[in-house]
Amino acid sequence: MNSRSLQTTIIFLVIAGILALAFGGFFGSASRQFSSVLVETQTWISSRFLGIQDFFTAPRDIVSLRTRNVELEAQVSQLQVQVIELQQRVNETEILAALVNFEQANPESTYKASAVIGRDPSPFLHYIIINRGSNDGFRRGMPVVTNQGLVGRVDAVIADAARVQLITDPASKVNVYLQNADTIAISLGSVTGDISLDRISQDAIVQPGDLVLTSGLGGGYPSDLPIGQVITLRSLEFELFQQATIQPAVDFTRLAIVLVITNFRPVDISPLVPLQSP
Amino acid sequence: MRNIIAFPLLALAVILQSSIVSQVKLLSGYADLPLIILGAWALQERVKSAWQWALLGCVFVGFVSKLPWPVYFIGYLLVVLVAQSLQRRVWQAPLLAMFSVTLAGTLLLHLLSFAVLGILGTSYSFGEVVRSITLPSLLLNMLFSIPIYTFMRDLARWVYPSEVYE
């Protein structure tokens, strides 16, 4: 071994020894002083480096952040649309579930659900247009209901749509039965959409809140379909009959899906009605 | 040839009337989109096809509505008649003319409806119907008439370009 190699070996051994003593904690305060200087120096350099790095990379980050922001906003919009769609489906499902419950509770009839797609353009008439017609077996005169009660009956049919006369229409007349009073009457629509009862016997004791159902008389509608409840009664001694106004069971302003009773055939009793002589 | 736009436009108007406008109620009344469109179209100076548009409107509305089609036939033709007579007299104030046509058209159509309902044996309280249907419908028609007039004016310029007209 020449003198140069020996010198190098000695230096390495000395440094290694110093490091071993330092890591072993034998230098105490000197080691702490040294390390603190190192840490401060590194902190200063690191902070300056980060500052310089931010200076050069920040614009690129803003662009990427903006891009990301746009992407996220688009995603939020999509999710909001999905939420609205899902909410609509939930509403439809709730309506359909109610209709299915109604159908199960009234198994004697056959129902076909149909969506309401329009109303009569004239504000004087109360008709709705549904999205199923003769292709689905709909015929004129078939009763239309919801889970809440009677809606009306099919007035006109084409292949894929039908027009339904609501019981609020001024030309609508339904034979009804007042359950509590045990008497019959006629439900009449009006231009303004209110429903009233006429031909209530003077002997009948009718109270506000009494339930009004279809009587089935005349063969135009099945019996026992709810129509509404009596709100007010007008009874005058000199008149032949009492009149009443009723609160419809169905909310006609919010009709979205209706059920058409397809196994009901209305009976035309007009030939049996005697002609009135002048 | 561009007058053929009447088919999709009036069909769309009747669809919108049936599906949306009839749901936007004020008391029991709502606007009459085809009536306003026909009135606004007939008020345009260059337009020569208002009568044909009115007949087409009758066909579309009569197909959807239960109200007897003669009501719309007479009503819409009267609207065009009123609009064309006003257009010659009040040409300097088109919006005033539009409001006048809307007012007259709504009242005429409702009067015809009253008459037909009376003939069909429907009993109603005239005052109540005017209060809850006619006046709210009139107000809504007035509100709709401004944007529709602007739209129909632009449409008339497209259907009847000035080069062809002159």
Q: A113-171: per-residue pLDDT in tens? A: 999 999 999 999 999 999 999 999 999 999 999 988 999 999 999 989 999 999 999 99
Query: Half-sphere exposure of residue B111, counting CA atoms within 13 Å on the CB side?
Result: 11
CA distances from A174 to A153, A265, B126, B144 (A): 10, 16, 24, 37
For residues A168 and A128, give the distance between their C-alpha atoms in angstroms, rounded to a whole number: 11
Portion 89-148 of B in contact with A at CB < 8 A? 110, 113, 117, 120, 122-124, 128-129, 132-133, 137
Task: Please give the pLDDT value at position B95.
Answer: 86
> What is the reported pTM?
0.75
SS (H, E, C) B82-129: HHHHHHHHCCCCHHHHHHHHHHHHHHHHHHHHHHHHHHCCCCCCHHHH
Q: With a CB-CB cutoff of 8 Å, which residues 169-208 of chain A face chain B?
A: 170-171, 190-193
- Compute the distance between CA of residue A226 and CA of residue A259 in angstroms, rounded to an integer: 14
Q: For residue A163, list chain B residues with Cβ-Cβ distance below 8 A.
A: 66
B150 in A contact zone (CB under 8 Å): no
Cβ pair A165:B66 closer than 8 A: yes
Q: What is the pLDDT of residue B166?
A: 45
Collect all residues with Cβ–Cβ distance below 8 Å to A57 and sequence separation of at least 6. Answer: none
Query: Cα-atom radius of gyration of chain B, to the nearest Å?
Result: 16
Query: Would you write out chain B's pLDDT as a tens digit for each of its 166 residues?
Result: 778 889 999 999 999 999 889 888 898 899 999 999 999 999 998 888 899 999 999 999 988 899 998 999 999 999 999 998 888 777 677 888 999 999 999 999 999 999 998 888 888 888 889 999 999 999 999 999 999 999 999 999 988 887 644 4
Residues of chain A contacting B124 with CB distance shorter than 8 Å: 170, 190-192
**How high is the mean pLDDT in each 10-residue block of chain A (278 residues)?**
75 80 73 73 78 72 81 90 89 83 78 90 92 91 91 92 94 91 92 91 89 90 91 86 92 89 82 67
Number of H helices, E strands in chain A: 2, 12
Can you give the pLDDT at residue A212? 93
Q: A196 to chain B, minimum CA–CA distance in Å? A: 12
- Residue B163 has a pLDDT of 62
φ/ψ of A130, rounded to 5, equals: -115, 160
The CA distance from A37 to A43, in Å, is 10
The answer to whether A120 contacts B64, with C-beta atoms less than 8 Å apart, is: yes
- Asked if residues A153 and A266 have their Cβ atoms less than 8 Å apart, the reply is yes
